[in-house]
Structure 1
Amino acid sequence: MEWDLSTQPPIVQKALGFVLQGYEIAVTWLLMPAAWSQFAILVVVYLAAVVLARRARKPLINLLTPSKDSTSILSKLRHYLLLFVPLLLPVFAYALAGIGEQVIRSVFGSGAVIAFGKRLFLVLAARIIVRDIVSDPFLKIFGRFVLLPVMVLYAFDLLDPLTERLNATMISLGNISFSVMALLRGVMAGVILFWLGRWSNDQSASFLSRQEAMRPATRQLAAKAAELFIFGLAFILLMNIMGVPLTSLAVLGGAIGVGLGFGLQKIASNYISGVILLLEGQATVGDFVELDSGQAGTIVKTTARAMILETFDGRWIVVPNEDFITTRIINYSDQGSANRIEVAFSVSYDTDINLVPDIVAKAVATHPGVLNEPEPPDVELRGFGDSGIDFGVEFWVNGIDDGKNKYASDVLFLIWNALKEHNIEIPYPHRVVELRNAPAAE
């Protein structure tokens, strides 16, 4: 078949050229007796693979399914292998087609059709992986728009010509030239490497968070170090894949240094301050801190740039790490150490004040959160007020008096009940008003 393509655009000529090439191959296959036998073998191979996959599926699932209460590494491995059971069909088909190809080549000296069928079975395997096995959204998108098209091109024997064409097409940016294939290879490698880096970082962070023997600050520092190592290694591998020498990054490093010196010094300062905080362990997740400005909250998250505090009313405060180094910060928690709380109260002037300390101390000691160490509850006389005698009770607790722990409120209830039980009056403000030069009453 001869078509005049000289009047068509170059891209149309190339596309039609591939179509004509495929048409000629198809006609050749249809007219060859060896091709018909290969088509028949492919049909038999596929049907045999369907039967074998159905027979092997159930016993294999029973073999690989772990018990419900098992948490060993072997059980996790068996559960992981279960995901690949849907690949039985294309695997059996590919293996049987390989055997059939050897037989056909020994008889006819050609096996192009059955080799094409083998490649189609690989496309089927890739489709099953993307559709049934992969659950990560990113990998699904990558498989749908990158892996499957590449496998289709490979099946139709178009991958090598397309690769050569992309290698020959150059892109110039000033003094730098690179091929389209190098660009695509770098993009795909970068996407895969940094996805693997993110996955590895999540796994390492999850593993470190379960190490209860390590201090929280040490766990966070180890997680940050692992993150830097993983993504640094991914960047170096990407540079090697793209063929960029690491020595050429010296200029980029100098530019970054200038940027840090002028515009990014605050970011660098906060990052370094965060590392210092993790090393020293002065403040970490779970600590209740009060800032120099008077704001207070619990540290719920640490980042490379800032600490995030959650207040009693649920608001989040983002505090730069540098503030924890350069300003005064009060840490009330210190990872579970005891804190002393003081509660004030008053009694009437008619009270025998010698009885008050023992009564109140015993009442406060009944609270389940009040500690006897480092000191038991201590009642002290504070002064003689306008309306009554002022006392203060000091007691130690694990934690702080926040929205979750109402130590001060609970202790005031205990003091009220104890004083009422002993008929001790709690005074209220009152004044004596004297009227001078008032007319005498008749």
Structure 2
Amino acid sequence: MENMLETAMGYGMTAYEVALAWIIDPANWVQFALLVGSYLAAVVITRKLNPKLTQLLTPTQGNDSLLAKVRRFVLLFLPLLLPLLAFGLTAIGEQVTRSIFGSGEVIAFGKRVFLFLAVRAFVRDMLTDPMLKALGKTVLVPLAAIYALGFLDPLLLWMETTIIPLGNMSFSLLGLLRFLVVASIMFWLGRWSNDQSTAIIEKQEMRPATRQLAAKAAEIAIFGAAFLVAMNIAGIPLTSLAVLTGALGVGIGFGLQKIASNFVSGVILLLEGQATVGDYVELDGGEAGTIVRMTARAAILETYDGKWIVVPNEDFIVTRVVNYSDSGSANRYDVSFSVSYDTDINRIPDIVGPAVAALDFVLDQPEEPDVELDGFGDSGIDFVVEFWVNGIDDGKNKYRSHVRFAIWNALKDAGIEIPFPQRVVHLKGAAPALPE
């Protein structure tokens, strides 16, 4: 017990002597005073500059010019003004104390703290993307805190010497962390670049299939380049991936045949433009609907009742596909109707044709509405009217329904009877006597 007490007293005396030496050292007091003064000066300067910079950098409402976008972007950095200004003033003070006293540990610690505050403000106030904000909170802020405490160099040395084996490859813990950080940033840059390139491509005058192909090619090129840059920055040699790429090739050759086939079929569809987003198609298997999306593996069809059908791209290549709206071409429909045998059928084309042509969705090219005699039915004389429209007759466009309304009204106005089914019954023999 006495030995423990003596040891504790020894540690206490050592701490007391260190604290006393620090207190009576004028260099430490000067550093502390410069540190406080730098912070107070930064606060005063920031309060003066913030309103003026905000007014200068805020563009007028509704201004979307390039200069306005640059000003809005620079305005985002205002939360960093205070800690960075304090960091800069403290760095000047550190140079002064080192030149006069030959030491500057106290003010150097304060400078690192200001840098930590700048990093924390950057992550908290400037980063809006969820992935980058999570990366900043889990990696950037802890590293800045460790740097402020002065433990960053020993930590990096330990991570550099800690090796993680992975099959024929091995990575240091620092290299793995560097790869994760760089890969996350490059993935974010790739996603941002892909969004920008897609927006630019969508504004170009080209066929929808060509636009989709260009967007897919840009996406593959951007993320491929991002992957290679991330591997290079992280210090991972591409030759170390030879085994992985070989296994991937074997997997594609055996287990991923359908995926590879659908991917190639999707590229062919985009190149040929035989079917693209917005077309109404019908396949041999009975699938029918409007193409609402085309991916690398399949096309998604939306039916009249809102259901989505996922059709592999290969089916568009190896089976017969009927495209009702390729390149916005017109489609022809027909509607059948009947009139009674008492009707002067020579009047029917002049009555029904103009009534159908008057509908706003009926085209006069490539042909005007055509009324044809279709046959002599059991109950009446059968006619059919053929007409052309842009689009297809689906749940949104009730073309045939509107045409039937027009035919009914035109025949009623002309006093022509639309027959209902009739049957003639012949009775053989004497008629049965009716009961009294």
TM-score (norm: length of structure 2): 0.92
Q: Is the 8 A contact 1:286 1:335 kept in 2?
A: no
State the AA in 1 paired with 2:417: E
- 1:90 paired residue number: 83
Aligned residues: 423
- 2:292 counterpart of 1:295: no
Query: How does 1:33-72 map onto structure 2 within 5 Å?
Result: 33-72=26-65
TM-superposed CA distance for 1:46, in Å, is 1.1
Q: Which moved more, 1:42-51 or 1:234-243?
A: 234-243
- Structure 1's 177 and 48: CA in aligned 2 closer, same or farther, altered over 3 A? same
Match of 1:405 among 397, 404, 415: 397
Distance 1:407 1:77 in 2: 51
Query: How does 1:37-436 map onto structure 2 within 5 Å?
Result: 37-211=30-204, 213-436=205-428
Distance 1:29 1:370 in 2: 95
Q: CA RMSD in A?
A: 2.2
TM-superposed CA distance for 1:54, in Å, is 1.5
Partner secondary structure for residue 79 of structure 2 = helix
TM-superposed CA distance for 1:181, in Å, is 1.5
TM-superposed CA distance for 1:104, in Å, is 2.1
Deviations 1:347-382 (A, max 9, x none): 111111111111111001111111111111111111
Deviations 1:360-419 (A, max 9, x none): 110011111111111111111111111111111111111111111111111111111011
State the AA in 1 paired with 2:48: R
Q: Which moved more, 1:168-177 or 1:319-328?
A: 168-177
Distance 1:180 1:23 in 2: 39
Q: Is the 8 A contact 1:119 1:154 kept in 2?
A: yes
- 2:11 paired residue number: none
Q: Is the 8 A contact 1:66 1:75 kept in 2?
A: yes
Q: Is the 8 A contact 1:29 1:113 kept in 2?
A: no
Deviations 1:193-212 (A, max 9, x none): 2222222222222332233x
Q: Which blocks of at least 5 consecutive residues in structure 1 are unaligned? A: 5-20
State the AA in 2 paired with 1:404: K
TM-score (norm: length of structure 1): 0.91
Q: Is the 8 A contact 2:135 2:181 kept in 1?
A: no
TM-superposed CA distance for 1:219, in Å, is 0.9
Q: Which moved more, 1:53-62 or 1:322-331?
A: 53-62
Q: Which blocks of at least 5 consecutive residues in structure 2 are unaligned? A: 5-13
Distance 2:70 2:17 in 1: 49
Partner secondary structure for residue 382 of structure 1 = strand
Partner secondary structure for residue 346 of structure 2 = coil
Distance 1:375 1:304 in 2: 39
Distance 1:260 1:173 in 2: 23
Q: Is the 8 A contact 1:336 1:398 kept in 2?
A: yes
TM-superposed CA distance for 1:247, in Å, is 3.3
- Structure 1's 30 and 225: CA in aligned 2 closer, same or farther, altered over 3 A? farther
Distance 2:405 2:390 in 1: 20
